[in-house]
Amino acid sequence: MPKRIALAADHAGYEDKEKLKKTLENLGVEYTDMGTNSSESVDYPDFAKKAAEAVARGEYDQGLLVCGSGTGMAIAANKVPGIRAAVAWDENIARLAREHNDANVLSLAARYVPFEELEKIVKAFLETGFDGGRHERRVKKITEIEREDLTKTA
């Protein structure tokens, strides 16, 4: 179980983000709420970036993002080197994202998944570790792609 979570949402995910705080507290997981702080329209990349960069810097063990579909925030978070954000719409995908991909950020779909399921997805993600083994080679290749991209732009 991770110790610290960077938690963020856009306006579509705001209400579920607020509810997930209780879930995290019940699991004994510390979190920092990185916004948004209302259901007024905001730009999701701003909040995804803030949480993802904090995870990439090692200030947090993992990130938890909530937006309408989960996709926009995952795309934005994955632009941050060192982040492997996964969208999970059920518990099995959340487990596989951790076991096989060593995902360090989970992105959730507030508009399409009932809150009771979101809680189960979060719990599965947080309680699952990386399997390593054959998956480690593949995750290292993801890091190599990031490094190649960074050297091309330098």
Q: Tell me the CATH architecture of domain 4-153.
A: 3-Layer(aba) Sandwich (3.40)
| Model pLDDT for residues 9-68, shown as the tens digit of each residue | 999 999 999 999 999 999 999 999 999 999 999 999 999 999 999 999 999 999 999 999
State the catalytic residue, choosing from 20, 29, 34, 67: 67
In a 10 Å sphere around its CB, with 0-12 CB exposed, 13-18 middle and 19+ buried, how is residue 145 labelled?
A: exposed
| Annotation says 100 is catalytic | yes
State the catalytic residue, choosing from 19, 21, 95, 100: 100
pLDDT at 146 over 90: no
| Annotation says 67 is catalytic | yes
Domain residue spans of the chain:
4-153
* Contact criterion met (CB below 8 Å) for 38 and 48: no
pTM, to two decimals: 0.93
| Model pLDDT for residues 3-23, shown as the tens digit of each residue | 899 999 999 999 999 999 999
Mean pLDDT of 103-117: 98
